[in-house]
Structure 1
Amino acid sequence: MEATSAGGESQPPAPQPQSQPSSPPTATPSRYESQKRRDWNTFQQYLRNHKPPLTLARCSGAHVIEFMKYLDQFGKTKVHVTECPYFGQPNPPSPCACPLKQAWGSLDALVGRLRAAFEENGGKPESNPFGTRAVRIYLREVREGHAKARGIPYEKKKRKRSTVTAAAIVSTATAAVNS
């Protein structure tokens, strides 16, 4: 329906103001951020269910290690015990009764996410239980233990050199030889 003025002329309707949402649209968090939030909530729940319940302020590296050991029960990586005939074999010929544990890489990534979440939730970097020496040593022992049990040594991935750097080295070496 058109609005009419007092003089009887017809005018187009006044534009309606677009309704703006009261809060800015939130972007969906990245996969990393979602996982970090889930990990943080799981750790908080672990602290609440701990006997006796723990506060984050009283949490230490020992509690973080205890949490990682607790998570082993949900692991999917076969880790052969030393008594197993397949200990040290990368591809065992048949199944065995060795336990399933969390993979070292999963634990390492978990600790990294929780370390970041701790600081994002108001924790001070110097009191971060996820960055303690004990946690780093535990992760190293897990990595070495898994490597021995599987017979596959852990090797740090080598970073690829950029072709510019490699070309610069070759041209520098060539110039040195020609001088």
Structure 2
Amino acid sequence: MSSERGKDIAEGSSRVNPPGDPQQTPSRYESQKRRDWNTFGQYLKNQRPPVPLSQCNSNHVLDFLQYLDQFGKTKVHLQGCMYYGQPEPPAPCTCPVRQAWGSLDALIGRLRAAYEENGGSPETNPFATGAIRVFLREVRQGQAKARGIPYKKKKKKPTQGKGNDESSSTIHFS
């Protein structure tokens, strides 16, 4: 990597390589999606017996998400913990660390897209089932209670009518 390219990255430059450039680097999202897809594929191969992707279902996805908890960094207080429901506990405790809900939600979004990009049908996408949505909702609610942080659904701000504020430099997309 040239020092100029490194400088562009460090400064947040959005310079893009010309189309057809063999050294064109994928976006951060695309790179992460490929890593996630490869990790999930490796997880399926390591199952006993190995699970072919064509036979993967939402139970395999749920097992994978629970497997990932061992690598989490978010402290989730158990109901019997004296710090349960406290957003900033004053001292450490022995409660487990887990994957944060937001990380799991983003991971499922990337895997859902990768599944279809790799030839999977939207109708059979194991990452898009109701069981996965329920699991993510339960994780979000459980972590919110354990950490004393209420998750409230954000209300959409009303969009301004076109041309109402000529001095505004904000662009509203609908």
TM-score bracket relative to the smaller structure:
0.7 to 0.9
The structure that has the greater radius of gyration is 1
- Residues 20-73 of structure 1 show CA distances to partners (whole Å, capped at 9, x for unaligned) of xxx753521000000000000000000000111101111111110100000000
Root mean square deviation of aligned Cα: 1.8
Match of 1:40 in 2: 37
Q: What is the number of residues matched between the two proteins? A: 146
Match of 2:120 in 1: 123
- Decide which of 50, 55, 58 is 1:58's aligned counterpart: 55
Aligned partners of 2:131, 2:54: CA distance in 1, in Å? 17
- The Cα of 1:109 is off from its aligned counterpart by 0.3
- Decide which of 155, 158, 163 is 2:155's aligned counterpart: 158
- The Cα of 1:146 is off from its aligned counterpart by 0.2
1:159 is paired with a residue of what secondary structure?
A: coil
Matches within 5 A, 1:100-111: 100-111=97-108
Match of 1:94 in 2: 91
Give the unaligned 5+ runs of structure 2: 1-19, 166-174
Identity percentage of aligned residues = 66
Aligned partners of 1:138, 1:85: CA distance in 2, in Å? 26
Q: Which amino acid aligns with 1:135?
A: I
Aligned partners of 2:76, 2:140: CA distance in 1, in Å? 11
Aligned partners of 1:33, 1:164: CA distance in 2, in Å? 35
1:164 is paired with a residue of what secondary structure?
A: coil
- Residues 75-105 of structure 1 show CA distances to partners (whole Å, capped at 9, x for unaligned) of 0000001111101111111000000100000
Give the unaligned 5+ runs of structure 1: 1-22, 169-179
Aligned partners of 2:26, 2:116: CA distance in 1, in Å? 18
Aligned partners of 1:38, 1:154: CA distance in 2, in Å? 29
Match of 2:75 in 1: 78
- Find runs of 4+ consecutive structure 1 residues off by over 6 angstroms: none
Q: Which amino acid aligns with 1:35?
A: Q
Match of 1:17 in 2: none
1:108 is paired with a residue of what secondary structure?
A: helix
Query: TM-score scaled to structure 1, two decimals?
Result: 0.77
Match of 2:134 in 1: 137
